């Protein structure tokens, strides 16, 4: 059972860079032991929000409390409770894999023996033991991401901030990261995760905040969001104007979206409604699939490409 004490609380949180509003008066709460996903297109303000949580960026206005402490004047305490796995590679290229962890542990005042014990345990879990003595520059992207994750756990954080933890990882490494996130959830670690991968959000997050243009536009558990916005099933079929008209008549309340030479039909009706329709109308090239978070995401944030 997840206890309900609030570990992260934002009220009217705003960040401006000159005239650009990256985060625009957002409010949210994260409870202890929860895994909350920030989902949004590039430039939506996910990373900026995360960076304010560990005092990397000062707020422009609003309030942000982490573990009951304001980020405006309790940075040191907050940072000792938080583990950060940033999006970019900021491993120290002047050191080997193991030394990266040991030097980082020193910044937290972790005694040397304890640091070595924790570092070795992390390297073992993330399957980097053999790379202990290797310089950072020779690691693959996947190894670097794993090492960044391992580094974020050295101070045994209560709160873990994972900014796109699996970008660039192969499926094996991605599942390793997911396993670790699930394990940490069981340990009551509170996790904030930003991602572009809907699968990842669906697999790991208790709750999802969809952000776009600096605002939170929707919030809920993955299942709730799917049900609310795209129903249970999606029918995909080749685009045909006549068919679209027929579909609209046969399935009142259906929402049709054209995607190039295909169209997707969403409905709030329960399972089976499309099968019934297909029994009466013989169609080529047709798929019925479960609605997913990606459908929600695209519906809410649109299909236009985003630049960083």
Partner 1 sequence: MSEPKLRKSPAKFTIPKLTYRSWKVWRRNSDVFMKTITVNFLPSLLEPILYLLAFGFGLGGFIPNINGQPYINFIAPALIAIAMMNGSFFECTFGSFVRMYFQKTFDAIVATPVSVEEVVAGELLWGATRATINASLVLIVVGISGLFTSQPLITSPLVLFIPLISFFGGLMFSSIAMCFTAAAPNIDFFNYPSFLFLTPMFFLCGTFFPLTSLPVGAQAIATSVLPLTHIVNLTREAVTTRVEPILGLSPQQLVPLSFVWVVLVTIFFFILSINLMKKRLTS
Binding site for partner 1 (CB under 8 A): 11-12, 14, 17, 25, 54-63, 72, 75-76, 79-80, 82, 84, 86, 88-95, 99, 103-104, 106-109, 155
b/e 34-59 (16+ beta carbons within 10 angstroms → b):
bbbbbbbbebbbbbbbbbbbbbbbeb
The residue among 104 and 274 lying less far from partner 1, judged by its C-beta, is 104
CB of residue 17 vs partner 1: minimum separation in angstroms? Answer: 7
**Would you call 191 exposed, middle or buried from its count of C-beta atoms within 10 A (0-12, 13-18, 19+)?**
buried
Nearest distance, CB of residue 12 and partner 1, angstroms? 4
Shortest Å, Cβ 70 to partner 1: 11
DSSP per position, 39-65: E--TTSSHHHHHHHHTTSS--SEEEEE
Residue 80 vs 269, nearer CB to partner 1 = 80
The residue among 126 and 297 lying less far from partner 1, judged by its C-beta, is 126
Compare residues 136 and 296 and give the one whose CB is closer to partner 1. 136
Q: Which is nearer to partner 1, 35 or 154 (CB)?
A: 154
Minimum distance, C-beta of residue 174 to partner 1, in the bound complex (Å): 23
Residue with tokens 């997913």: 292
User: Which residue's CB is nearer to partner 1, number 55 or number 254?
Assistant: 55
Burial class (CB in 10 A: 0-12, 13-18, 19+), 278: middle
**Residue in the block written with tokens 């519906």:** 299
Min CB(187)–partner 1 separation in Å: 21
> How far is Cα 194 from Cα 6, in angstroms, rounded to an integer?
19
- CB of residue 112 vs partner 1: minimum separation in angstroms? 12
Residue 198: Cβ-neighbour burial (10 angstroms; 0-12, 13-18, 19+) = buried
Query: Which DSSP symbol is given to 131?
Result: G
Closest distance of CB 86 from partner 1, Å: 7
Q: Which is nearer to partner 1, 76 or 303 (CB)?
A: 76
Nearest to 40 by CA among 32, 57, 28, 31: 28
SS3 213: coil
């Amino acid at each position: 059972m997840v206890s309900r004490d609030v570990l992260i609380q934002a009220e009217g949180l705003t960040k401006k860079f000159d005239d650009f509003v990256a985060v625009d008066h957002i409010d949210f709460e994260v409870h202890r032991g929860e895994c909350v996903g920030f989902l949004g297109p590039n430039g939506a303000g996910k990373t900026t929000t995360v960076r304010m949580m560990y005092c990397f960026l000062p707020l422009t206005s609003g309030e942000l409390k982490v573990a009951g402490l304001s980020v405006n004047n309790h940075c040191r305490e907050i940072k000792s409770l938080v583990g950060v796995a940033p999006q970019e590679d900021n491993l120290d290229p002047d050191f080997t894999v193991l030394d990266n962890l040991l030097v980082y542990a020193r910044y937290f005042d972790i005694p040397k023996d304890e640091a070595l014990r924790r570092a070795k345990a992390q390297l073992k879990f993330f399957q980097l033991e053999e790379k202990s003595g290797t310089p950072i520059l020779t690691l693959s992207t996947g190894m670097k991401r794993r090492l960044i994750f391992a580094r974020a756990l050295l101070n045994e954080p209560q709160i873990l901030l994972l900014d796109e933890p699996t970008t660039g990882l192969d499926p094996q490494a991605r599942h390793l990261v997911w396993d670790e996130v699930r394990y940490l959830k069981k340990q009551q670690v509170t996790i904030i995760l930003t991602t572009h991968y809907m699968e990842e959000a669906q697999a790991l997050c208790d709750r999802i905040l969809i952000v776009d243009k600096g605002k939170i536009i929707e919030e809920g558990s993955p299942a709730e969001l799917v049900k609310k916005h795209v129903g249970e099933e999606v029918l995909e079929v080749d685009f045909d104007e006549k068919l679209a008209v027929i579909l609209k008549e046969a399935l009142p309340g259906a929402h049709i979206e054209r995607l190039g030479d295909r169209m997707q039909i969403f409905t709030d009706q329960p399972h089976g409604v499309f099968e019934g329709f297909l029994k009466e109308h013989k169609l080529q090239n047709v798929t019925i699939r479960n609605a997913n978070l990606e459908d929600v995401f695209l519906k809410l944030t649109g299909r236009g490409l985003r630049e960083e």
